[in-house]
Amino acid sequence: MIRWHRGLVLAALVALVSVTPPPAKAQARTWTVVAGGLTRDGSVWSNAFHPRGVDVTVGDVVEWQFAGFHNVAFAGGGKLPPLVVTQDKSAYLNPQVAFPVGSAEYDGQGYRNSGVPPEDPQVWASQQHRYRLRFTKPGTYVYTCIVHGPAMSGVVRVHPQGTPLPRDPAGALQQGLEEQRATLQAGQRALARLRPEARGGSVRIAMVGDGQRGYSLMRFTRTPLVVRRGTTVTWEIQDPFEIHTVTFVGTEKVPPFVIPQMQTGGPPKLLLNPKVAAPTPHREYAGSGYVNSGILVPLGAPGPRTYSLRFTRSGTYTYWCPIHAMLGMKGTIIVQ
């Protein structure tokens, strides 16, 4: 009798196993986030992640496609490294920001960094530079573009496997592209309103950005600025994201902002060109020579945000922001 019961129980278990397959392991999915964006002429730049927040499940991969000079950095419970480091009185782009750091998986611990893409707007426009990270533990993970500060941040919300999500990967990407389009359109409207402000014998030019909408304008003015001889022009940063310079090069070429210094057995050191970073002592401009504001910093950052120059000779003068020269950021002043 006992053997019969044992045989019956064993048969029942075999039947149960045969009709009830083991639960299938959820298939990992890949989610796309676009880092930034820019208009065709480079005049408006998105300094936001699109979508700014994405919901995934454990085991999923997020892929960032870079459409601008950005990086993706997860602090992993520590502090984010600074963008710039100094050595022997020279300033360098921090290699902990410029180059990838960490494995391709993330559980909320340890620093992860994508590195930055090449300084080539054609690469940005094609979104050829990408970074992938697999998330292995539930949690809410905030990440930042160190290049553009805490104003450019995003979040990945990682849920347990099987959790219903508000969107699938295609829907999340569509949301991101709609956000990006709205950001660039807001920037284009702001650009259409961009006008220098005359104040008596001076003129003020604003370098504009919007932290809430996530854009920066890569133009000083929309049209040449016409002033009388003796006028003082003041440039002022009103942007939480970008650094700029006001640089009159005279007969010289526009200097590069970053100078790679090759090293044996490692990545190059990225020197911030002191000719661009440091100001010249000029307070007047007579139409010749190299005259430079030095780096003007974003809203909320320590350092100078304004630069003034008095124009003493008639002529037509072109000036640049060498940091963003590849985006066509230059201005013209006609002194009468």
What CATH number has the domain bearing residue 118?
Answer: 2.60.40.420
Residue-range definition of the domain harbouring residue 316: 194-260+271-335
d(CA 205, CA 210): 16
Burial degree of 303 (CB within 10 A; 0-12, 13-18, 19+)? exposed
Last residue of a domain, one of 132, 153, 184: 184
Partners of 319 in the beta sheet?
A: 331
User: What is the average pLDDT score of the chain?
Assistant: 91
Which pTM value belongs to this model? 0.89
Q: Do 111 and 228 have their domain in common?
A: no
Is-contact 248 319, C-beta < 8 A? yes
Residue 119's pLDDT is what?
A: 81
Report if residue 11 sits inside a domain.
Answer: no
User: Is 62 part of a structural domain of the chain?
Assistant: yes
Side chain identity at 23, as an amino acid letter?
P
Q: Do 175 and 204 sit in the same domain of this protein? A: no
- Count: domains in the chain: 2
For residue range 241-268, list pLDDT tens digits in order: 999 999 999 999 999 999 999 998 889 9
Residue with tokens 């796309």: 32
CA pair distance 157, 32, nearest whole angstrom: 14
What pLDDT, on a 0 to 100 scale, did the predictor assign at position 25? 54
**Is 20 domain-assigned?**
no
- 36 and 151 in a single domain? The answer is yes
Give yes or no: residues 304 and 208 share one domain: yes
Query: Which residue, 184, 211, 236, sits at the end of a domain?
Result: 184
- In the DSSP assignment, the letter for residue 104 is S
Q: Does residue 234 belong to any structural domain of this protein?
A: yes
Residue 135: HSE in the Cβ half-sphere, 13 Å Cα cutoff:
28
164, 99: one domain = yes
- Nearest CA-CA partner of 67 in 124, 116, 126, 120: 124
- pLDDT value of position 19: 40
Asked whether residue 16 is assigned to any structural domain, the reply reads: no
- 70, 106, 315 from 47: Cα distances, Å: 8, 24, 36
Rounded percentage of the chain residues whose pLDDT exceeds 70: 92
